[in-house]
Amino acid sequence: MGEATLLSGGERPVVRLERHLARPRNVIWLAVTDVEAMRGWFPTRIELDEWKVGATITHHFDGHDLEPLSGTVLAWDPPRRVSFTWGDDTISLTLDELEGGGTLFVLTEELSAAHAARNAAGWAERLDLLEFGVNQTPWRERFEGYVEAFEPILGPQEGPPDGITLD
């Protein structure tokens, strides 16, 4: 299981998750940029006309009582990197081919300090879905571990947003 690390030297903290995936980069690239394929692992339904720098993205929280978040594509470098905003946060997905096969997948999110533990737990859960097709560890268990690790550095951590229930 790939765990999140915290990078706190910049203006805003960044959570970073890394996975070594057995599938080739072109297969993973499709899974992380095809809006239909993303529904199998990404936490929102993404709506956009075309992946290109400057394109507008809408993140829909289907099944939850949350308003959609708007975003913008910041970087588009197929099949290696895509970066976009998610509300006030910035998400980057980077894929590198591994020697001998497979893909090194790195997800980073620059975010509010108070959301680092909850988002790290959520991304770890979502990357389990991408890698294994099922979640390996309950969100709450991961969240509590990240709260313990991140609170001394970032201060109090918030749980799920109103309208979302996680176990």
Read off the pLDDT of residues 76-121 as tens digits, 9 standing for 90 and up. Answer: 999 999 999 999 999 999 999 999 999 999 999 999 999 999 999 9
Domains recognised in the chain with CATH numbers? 5-154 (3.30.530.20)
Whole-angstrom distance, CA of residue 36 vs CA of residue 116: 27
Whether the per-residue pLDDT at 166 is higher than 70: the answer is: no
- The pLDDT tens digits for 64-82 are 888 899 999 999 999 999 9
Whole-model pTM? 0.93
Task: Say what the pLDDT of residue 3 is.
Answer: 86
| pLDDT over 90 percentage in the chain | 81
Report which of 129, 160, 121, 94 is spatially closest to residue 4, judged by C-alpha positions.
Answer: 121
Angstrom distance (rounded) from CA 98 to CA 146? 28
Range of lowest pLDDT (18-27, 60-69, 108-117, 135-144)? 60-69
